[in-house]
Amino acid sequence: MELTVLPHHDELVERCKRGEAAGYKELYQRYAKAMFNTCLRIVNNTAEAEDVLQESFTEAFKNLQGFEYRTSFGGWLKQICINRSINQLKKRRVSWIDIDGTDSYERTDEAVVCRSGQIER
C-alpha cells in the first residue's frame, strides 16, 4: 500500500491569491515573528533582520500566484527569508587588501619626528 500526500491548500493563502487585503494582513501576522527570528539568527542585526523580513514578504506576496503547494507556505516563505538573509551577509562583506604583500605604495624618505624629539629617516 502506497501513501500519497496531497497538497494542503491553505485557505488564507487562497484568499491572498484572490487579492483580499485582509488575507495578506493575516498571513503576515501569522508568520512575521517566526520569520523575523530566522532572519535575525542569520544576519545578527535587528535593523537588517527587519529589512530582510519586509523584502521577503514583498517577494513572497509578489510571487504568490506561482506558489503551487509543493511545500507548506511557511516552508516556502522561510526559504525566501534564508536566501535573502544570506544575500544580506554577502553585501556586508569587506574586501581586505594585504598591504604587506603588495607594492601599491612607495616608501618615501620623509623625516619622522620621534617621541624623543629626534628626527629619523
Q: Which candidate, 78, 72, 64, places its Cα nearest to that of 10? A: 72
- Average predicted confidence (pLDDT) for the chain: 84
Length, in residues, of the chain: 121
Distance CA 79, CA 90 (A): 17
In CATH, what class is 11-92?
Answer: mainly alpha
Our measurement of the distance from residue 12's CA atom to the centroid of its chain's CA atoms, rounded to an integer in Å, reads 25
Dump pLDDT digits (tens) for 11-52.
999 999 999 999 999 999 999 999 999 999 999 999 999 999
Residue 56 pLDDT exceeds 80: yes
- Strand-pairing partners, residue 112, are 120
Q: Average pLDDT, stretch 44-66?
A: 96
**Total-model pTM:** 0.70
Interatomic CA distance for residues 120 and 111, integer angstroms: 6
